[in-house]
Structures are given as structure tokens and as C-alpha cells.
């Protein structure tokens, strides 16, 4: 593999950008080696600065669910750019996208646009606190809700990978208002609520965790949280930045049939442009400024180019339910191919999958929370990652991440993905 240009760019980047990257997990710290710099992407493939191509199993961490360089989305973006990239004033697409989101996501009656998932979760928590006049929130170990101060406590994703789940710079005052429970442990949540009677504003959760690898809720867990929140007047927030428009057009809440009070969105909603949103019950959302007292604003929020991209993608997903059927089928084929290959080899593993989210964990434990996710052989994951990279398959560069299968991945790509895995197992044994 020729890596001259990526190598050069990374050297230059390190002089002017902290760690050479604008988001930590991109630095490949968890898997070893230097990051690859990309020049373009199309369909299922990404092309680097060095002339290599890769089947993309991350898809920009989810947003490119239809594959890269989708023509409909690109056309919508071009058209919006020509009309001026920003007004700083209301425009038509904001209304149309808000209507579409309310139609697609079961619990959303009103929605506010922001520019990232982080902004969405920070704003949702402020709103929950303002609405309930309570300070404390419960989050789950290994769940990632962006890099807002309240959430960098036992955080997943890059924070887990970098070994900084509790970041310096978060004040003790902020940290003490975030209470922690293990994922899938309803009893522990009940204990926390009882011990902090009348003080919990919100429980925030990734209904399917994707930031400690893909971890599914056990039967009754999500329903149990809903019932508890109802009893105690606690706001239940589903952070569907990852699962929204991915597990189905209505996200995890549609799949599980449980309605949260507030939902945070990101990733797929912007089709690759920087967009996030939070929405939910009308009475709560009407607490947001200028209708209500909880302040939240954004110079570029509802940006016309970003709204056009999001609208093009979401309306396509809304009109084409077969997308979800196909990406799940593709994911299950990869899962079956991996399982078949693993039968011939002695290797501890667990695979978790739902819809088009999937993770291979190198452990003999069932992975149900952060504790069990951490039992994985991360060194082996690094070897597995680098072997795939050298053979043209681009996986998430850390054990504690989910893969995201796109609509562009077809039979040919599935065959290659499985073949590379078989080769990896063989060379490891040999």
C-alpha cells in the first residue's frame, strides 16, 4: 500500500492541529498506525490521497446511510448553495424539514435545529432542567452524548478509546450533577432515583448504545425506564443521534414502541452536513426561547444548505422503506459470513447486531454494558483493523464503536468483506 501522501499530510497536520486531527478517534490511537487522508468517496467506496480505495463500513459515522455522493442529495445541496449558503433568517426548508421529522419520529411534536449532536444533547439537558426545575441527570456508563461537560463522565466512543472517559476541565460542580448507572441495569437506576428523591431532571440514554460498540437493551429495560420516568415526573431523553433514521425511519423509539419525552438527533439528519436537532413533547419544547424561558440559539442553525441536504435524505428514506430492509439484510449476510468463518478457528468473540448496526467484540463474554465491553482484546482488534485496512476494508478504528452499513454495499462488497476476514483468521493461525 502506498501511503506517502497521507503520511506527509499527517506530519504537516500535527504541526498545526492538535494531534493532527479535528476529532480524536480519527487519529487511530486505539489501533496503531497513522490515519489515512481521504480525497473523495462514491457509493460504497472511499478513495484516499495515496490512490487506494476502501469499502466504507463507517459511512462518516452514520450520515451517509445511502452511500457516498448520492446524486439526489448532491443536487439539493448545489441548488441551495446557489441561492446563498446562509440567510441568518427563516427559510422554507426549515419548515418542511421540521414537518417531515415530526411525521417520521413518533414522539416529536416540535423540533429545534442545531449544528451537531453535541449541541442537541446539551440543549436537551438544559431544557429538561429548566422545565423540571431540577438539576441532576442520570446517564449510562459507556454511552456517549457528545462532548458537553455534563456528559464527559464515564463517556464512550473516542473518550473511552483515548482513556479519558472523565475529561479534565469538567468542574466538580458539573460532574456531581451527573449520576451513573450501568446500561441494562434498571435496579441501579431505581436506586439512584430513590436516593435523589425529587432531584432528577432527566434520564438520557442511547436506546441502542453504539458508542461502546453496538450494545442492545435487554427486554423490558427501556420500558422500565419509561415507567419509572412517568412515576417520578422525570424527562426521558432518547439520544438518537446515531439510531435516528437508522434503525428505521422513526428510529429506536419506533422499533421498541416506547416514546421518550425528548429526542436528540444528528448524523443522518444532515446527510453529511453539520446538523443536529432536539424535539419532543410540545409542552416541553414550548419552554424553549423565544416561546419559553430556556435560552438556546445558533447563528447558522437551520442553515439552508444543510436543511436541503437533510430534507433530500430524510424524504428519500421516508418514501423508500425498502432501504431499511436491504441494509439489514446486508448486515445479516456479513454477520453470517463472519460466524461461518469463525467456526473453523479458536477465537473468543461476541457479535451484536440490530438493523444495520453491528459490532464484533473479541471476548467470550456476552456484551451487555460497558463493563463487559471492556473485557475485549483491544490489541487483537488493532491487528484485525489494520489487516482490513491493508486489504481495502475501512472499519471503525476502535473496538468501542459500531459499524454502519450503507445502502450502497452490495453482494460484491459483502463477499470481499467476508473474504478479507477469512484471510485475517488464516494468517493469524498460520
- Residue 402 binding ligand PLP, by CB under 6 A: no
User: What x-and-dash track marks residues 288-327 binding ligand PLP by CB under 6 A?
Assistant: ----------------------------------------
Chosen residue from 73, 114, 181, 242 binding ligand PLP by CB under 6 A = 242
Chosen residue from 52, 70, 121, 372 binding ligand PLP by CB under 6 A = 121
Chosen residue from 50, 141, 239, 261 binding ligand PLP by CB under 6 A = 239
- Residue 146 binding ligand PLP, by CB under 6 A: yes
In this structure, what C-alpha cell is assigned to residue 120? 442537541
Beta carbon nearer to ligand PLP, 275 or 414? 275
Q: How far is the CB of 60 from ligand PLP (least distance, A)?
A: 10
Question: What values do phi and psi take at 200, rounded to 5?
Answer: -90, 120
Distance CA 230, CA 249 (A): 26
Buried (b) or exposed (e) across 270-289, using 16+ Cβ within 10 A? Answer: bbbbbbbbbbbbeebbebbe
Count CA atoms within 13 Å of residue 398 on its CB side.
Answer: 25
DSSP secondary structure letters along 141-205? TT----S-GGG-SS--THHHHTT-SS-TTS-HHHHTTEEEE-TT-HHHHHHHHHHTTTTEEEEEE
Radius of gyration from C-alpha coordinates of the chain: 21
Q: How far is the CB of 403 from ligand PLP (least distance, A)?
A: 13
Chosen residue from 210, 272, 279, 355 binding ligand PLP by CB under 6 A = 210
Chosen residue from 203, 214, 241, 376 binding ligand PLP by CB under 6 A = 241
Binders of ligand PLP among residues 258 to 277 (CB under 6 A) are 266, 276
Beta carbon nearer to ligand PLP, 264 or 408? 264
Strands 53-56 and 393-394: parallel
Part of the chain binding ligand PLP (CB under 6 A), chosen from 161-169, 238-246, 288-296, 348-356: 238-246
**Chain CA centroid to CA 120, Å:** 13
- Residue 114 binding ligand PLP, by CB under 6 A: no
Distance CA 303, CA 308 (A): 9
Select from 61, 113, 60, 54 the least CA-distant residue to 306. Answer: 113
Report how many residues bind ligand PLP under the rule CB under 6 A.
Answer: 15
Chosen residue from 211, 253, 352, 356 binding ligand PLP by CB under 6 A = 211
Strands 110-114 and 136-140: unpaired
Provide the 10 A C-beta neighbour count for residue 166: 11
Q: How far is the CB of 242 from ligand PLP (least distance, A)?
A: 4
User: What x-and-dash track marks residues 151-190 binding ligand PLP by CB under 6 A?
Assistant: ----------------------------------------
User: Is 144 annotated as catalytic?
Assistant: yes
Distance CA 10, CA 37 (A): 8
Chosen residue from 145, 246, 249, 281 binding ligand PLP by CB under 6 A = 145
Beta carbon nearer to ligand PLP, 140 or 144? 144
Q: Choosing from 267, 311, 338, 384, which is the catalytic residue?
A: 267
Chosen residue from 206, 261, 369, 413 binding ligand PLP by CB under 6 A = 206
SS (H, E, C) 224-285: HHHHHHHHHCCEEEEECCCCCCCCCCCHHHHHHCCCCCEEEECHHHHECECCEEEEECHHHH
Question: Hey, what's the torsion of the CAs at 211, 214, 219, 220, to 10 degrees?
Answer: 10
User: Is 333 annotated as catalytic?
Assistant: no
User: Is 15 annotated as catalytic?
Assistant: no
Distance CA 374, CA 365 (A): 10
Part of the chain binding ligand PLP (CB under 6 A), chosen from 86-94, 114-122, 131-139, 373-381: 114-122
Part of the chain binding ligand PLP (CB under 6 A), chosen from 111-119, 253-261, 323-331, 376-384: 111-119
Q: Choosing from 48, 56, 177, 239, which is the catalytic residue?
A: 239
Question: Cis (ω within 30 of 0) for the bond into 290?
Answer: yes
Part of the chain binding ligand PLP (CB under 6 A), chosen from 78-86, 176-184, 205-213, 404-412: 205-213
Distance CA 241, CA 265 (A): 4
Q: How far is the CB of 176 from ligand PLP (least distance, A)?
A: 22
Chosen residue from 118, 123, 301, 350 binding ligand PLP by CB under 6 A = 118
Contact 214, 402 (CB under 8 A): yes
Q: How far is the CB of 248 from ligand PLP (least distance, A)?
A: 16
Where in the sequence numbering do the catalytic residues fall? 144, 239, 267
Task: Give the binding site for ligand PLP (CB under 6 A).
Answer: 116-118, 121, 144-146, 206, 210-211, 239, 241-242, 266, 276
Amino acid at each position: 500500500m502506498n501511503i506517502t501522501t497521507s503520511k506527509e499530510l499527517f506530519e504537516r497536520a500535527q504541526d498545526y492541529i492538535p494531534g493532527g486531527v479535528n476529532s480524536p478517534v480519527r487519529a487511530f490511537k486505539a489501533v496503531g498506525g497513522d490515519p489515512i487522508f481521504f480525497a473523495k468517496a462514491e457509493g460504497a467506496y472511499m478513495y484516499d490521497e495515496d490512490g487506494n480505495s476502501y469499502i466504507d463500513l463507517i459511512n462518516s459515522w452514520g450520515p451517509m446511510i445511502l452511500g457516498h455522493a448520492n446524486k439526489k442529495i448532491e443536487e439539493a445541496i448545489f441548488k441551495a448553495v446557489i441561492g446563498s449558503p446562509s440567510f441568518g433568517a427563516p427559510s422554507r426548508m426549515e419548515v418542511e424539514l421540521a414537518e417531515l421529522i415530526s411525521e417520521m419520529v413518533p414522539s416529536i411534536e416540535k423540533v429545534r435545529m442545531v449544528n451537531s449532536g453535541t449541541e442537541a444533547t446539551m440543549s436537551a439537558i438544559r431544557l429538561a432542567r429548566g422545565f423540571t426545575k431540577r438539576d441532576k441527570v442520570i446517564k449510562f456508563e459507556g454511552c456517549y452524548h457528545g462532548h458537553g461537560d455534563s456528559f464527559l463522565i464515564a463517556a464512550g466512543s473516542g473518550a473511552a478509546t483515548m482513556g479519558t472517559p472523565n475529561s479534565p476541565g469538567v468542574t466538580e460542580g458539573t460532574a456531581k450533577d451527573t449520576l451513573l448507572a450501568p446500561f441494562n441495569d434498571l435496579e441501579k437506576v431505581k436506586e439512584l432515583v430513590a436516593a435523589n428523591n425529587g432531584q432528577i431532571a432527566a434520564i438520557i440514554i442511547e436506546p441502542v448504545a453504539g458508542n461502546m460498540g453496538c450494545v442492545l437493551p435487554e427486554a423490558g429495560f427501556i420500558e422500565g425506564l419509561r415507567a419509572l420516568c412517568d412515576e417520578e415526573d422525570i424527562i426521558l431523553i432518547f439520544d438518537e443521534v446515531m439510531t435516528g433514521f437508522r434503525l428505521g425511519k422513526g428510529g429506536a423509539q419506533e422499533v421498541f414502541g416506547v416514546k421518550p419525552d425528548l429526542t436528540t438527533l444528528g448524523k443522518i439528519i444532515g446527510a453529511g452536513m453539520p446538523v443536529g436537532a432536539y424535539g419532543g413533547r410540545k409542552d416541553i419544547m414550548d419552554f424553549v426561547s423565544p416561546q419559553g424561558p430556556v435560552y438556546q440559539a445558533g447563528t447558522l442553525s437551520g442553515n439552508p444548505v444543510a436543511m436541503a441536504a437533510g430534507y433530500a435524505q430524510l424524504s428519500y428514506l421516508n418514501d423508500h422503506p425498502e432501504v431499511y430492509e436491504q441494509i439489514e439484510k446486508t448486515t445479516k449476510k456479513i454477520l453470517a459470513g463472519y460466524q461461518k468463518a469463525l467456526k473453523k478457528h479458536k477465537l473468543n468473540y461476541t457479535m451484536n447486531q440490530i438493523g444495520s448496526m453491528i459490532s464484533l467484540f473479541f471476548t467470550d463474554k456476552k456484551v451487555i454494558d460497558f463493563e463487559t465491553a471492556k473485557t475485549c482484546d483491544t490489541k487483537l482488534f488493532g491487528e484485525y483493523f489494520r489487516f482490513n485496512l491493508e486489504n481495502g476494508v475501512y472499519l471503525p478504528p476502535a473496538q468501542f464503536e459500531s459499524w454502519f452499513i450503507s445502502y450502497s454495499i452490495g453482494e460484491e462488497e459483502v463477499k470481499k468483506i467476508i473474504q478479507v476476514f477469512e484471510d485475517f483468521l488464516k494468517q493469524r493461525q498460520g
